């Protein structure tokens, strides 16, 4: 039996997905995308899932890029299709109803940086490195990197990274806003789990709508302010909202049921 390219571990509603190609520095290939897509399709909207951590196998890399061996025979049409497929999978992650956290434990380059940026939150180990080195191959990013990098760190630094292919370390990534936490090497997953466990105490419908509202800011087809007042109405009319208010008045912890 073939070894899975994405190892899945779960406990009490928390899932850890480990990209499992350490011999290739966890490079993204068709099989990895297939297994990521299958997971997020299966659990989309399933509130038994409280959160997801994505990390890489081994000590060197989170994901060091796309598998360049798959690029050699691609023409324009096939290349565009490959890029679109990768973007579609990453959109599934970005739009997932529960928080998805990247635990970046090494190199996050090219497609790996794009994978991390598709997660809702990024935690980096002290030795993590980030970059979009596609211009070294005469390419541009294909999995949303040119757009999400600007969203996270701003136009000036994003275009410098895209044009020079320079890597940045964890501390600079924190300063720029590319990651939200830097921890000792080996503690990335533990910190990510700490964050997920805190979020899991909140109203799951409110968490879902908060993710949607942040995504709406960057969706030119959506009026984010309109969506906010509509989503406020949806959440305040929910059973979870009534439970949250009652728990506040009664000075107890709420018991949310995603209803």
Q: What is the pLDDT of residues 14-65, one digit of tens each?
A: 999 999 999 999 999 999 999 999 999 999 999 999 999 999 999 899 999 9
Q: Which residues contact 119 (CB under 8 A, 6 or more apart)?
A: 54, 93, 94, 100, 101, 102
Residues 128 and 171 reside in one and the same domain: yes
pLDDT class of 234 with cuts at 50, 70, 90: very high
Contact indicator for 103, 192 with CB cutoff of 8 Å: yes
Tell whether 218 and 188 lie within a shared domain.
no
Q: Quick one: 182 and 210 in the same domain?
A: no
Q: Decide if 160 is catalytic.
A: no
Is residue 210 scored above 90 in pLDDT?
yes
| Boundary-marking domain end, from 180, 199, 218 | 199
Q: Collect all residues with Cβ–Cβ distance below 8 Å to 249 and sequence separation of at least 6.
A: none
pLDDT attached to residue 2: 78
pLDDT confidence band for 170 (50 / 70 / 90): very high
Asked if residue 226 and residue 125 are part of one domain, the reply reads no
58 within some domain: yes
Confidence bin at 239 (pLDDT 50/70/90)? very high
Together in a domain, 130 and 171: yes
Please say if the pLDDT value at position 148 is more than 90: yes
35 and 101 both lie in a single domain? yes
CATH of the domain at 76: 3.90.226.10
Percent of the chain with pLDDT over 90: 95
Does 256 fall in a domain? Answer: no
Check whether residue 143 and residue 103 sit in a common domain. Answer: yes
Q: Would you call 124 helix, strand, or coil by DSSP? A: strand
Domain count, the chain: 2
Arithmetic mean of pLDDT, 126-131: 98
Q: Is the pTM of this model over 0.85?
A: yes
Point out the catalytic residue in the list 35, 134, 172, 226: 134
* Average confidence (pLDDT) over 226-232: 97
Same domain, 123 and 232: no
The fraction of the chain above a pLDDT of 70, given in percent, is 100
Look at residue 1 and tell me if it is in a domain: no
- pLDDT at 69 (0 to 100): 86
Does the pLDDT of residue 212 top 80, yes or no?
A: yes
Same domain, 219 and 187: no
pLDDT of residue 43: 98
Q: Which residue among the candidates 37, 94, 114, 188 is catalytic per the annotation?
A: 114
- Cβ-contact 204, 189 below 8 angstroms: no
Active-site residue flag, 228: no
Report residue 172 as tokens: 């600079």
CA-CA-CA-CA dihedral for 72, 73, 78, 79, to nearest 10: 10
Measured at the CA of 229, the angle between CA 224 and CA 233, to 5 degrees, comes to 140
State the pLDDT at residue 1: 58
Is residue 161 domain-resident?
A: yes
CA dist list (Å): 26 to 10, 99, 141: 21, 22, 18
- Same domain for 116 and 74: yes
Q: Look at residue 16 and tell me if it is in a domain.
A: yes
- Does residue 13 form part of some domain? yes
Q: Are residues 177 and 231 in the same domain?
A: no
Domain with 88, as residue range(s), is 6-199
Mean pLDDT, rounded, of the chain: 96
Predicted local confidence at residue 253, as pLDDT: 94
Q: What is the pLDDT of residue 188?
A: 98
Together in a domain, 110 and 209: no
- Spatial distance between the Cα atoms of 189 and 186, rounded to a whole number of angstroms: 8
- Residue 68's pLDDT band (cuts 50, 70, 90): confident
> What average pLDDT score do residues 167-187 get?
98
């Amino acid at each position: 039996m073939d070894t899975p390219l994405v190892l899945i571990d779960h406990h009490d509603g928390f899932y850890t997905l480990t990209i499992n190609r350490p011999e290739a520095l966890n490079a993204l290939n068709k099989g990895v995308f297939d297994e990521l897509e299958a997971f997020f399709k299966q659990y989309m909207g399933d509130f038994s899932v409280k959160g997801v951590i994505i990390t890489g196998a081994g000590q060197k890399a989170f994901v060091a890029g796309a598998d360049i061996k798959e690029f050699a025979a691609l023409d324009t049409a096939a290349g565009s299709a490959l890029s679109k497929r990768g973007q579609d999978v990453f959109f599934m992650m970005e739009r997932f109803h529960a928080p998805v956290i990247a635990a970046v434990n090494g190199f996050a380059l090219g497609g790996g940086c794009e994978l991390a940026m598709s997660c809702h939150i990024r935690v980096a180990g002290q030795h993590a490195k980030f970059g979009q080195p596609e211009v070294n191959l005469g390419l541009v990013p294909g999995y949303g990197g040119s757009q999400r990098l600007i969203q996270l760190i701003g136009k000036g630094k994003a275009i410098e990274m895209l044009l020079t292919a320079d890597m940045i370390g964890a501390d600079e990534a924190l300063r720029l806003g590319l990651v939200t936490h830097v921890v000792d090497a080996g503690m990335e997953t533990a910190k990510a789990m700490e964050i997920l466990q805190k979020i899991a105490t909140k109203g799951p419908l409110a968490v879902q709508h908060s993710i949607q509202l942040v995504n709406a800011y960057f969706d030119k087809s959506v009026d984010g302010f309109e969506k906010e007042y509509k989503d406020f109405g949806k959440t305040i009319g929910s059973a979870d909202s009534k439970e949250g208010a009652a728990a506040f008045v009664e000075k107890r912890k709420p018991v949310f049921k995603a209803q």
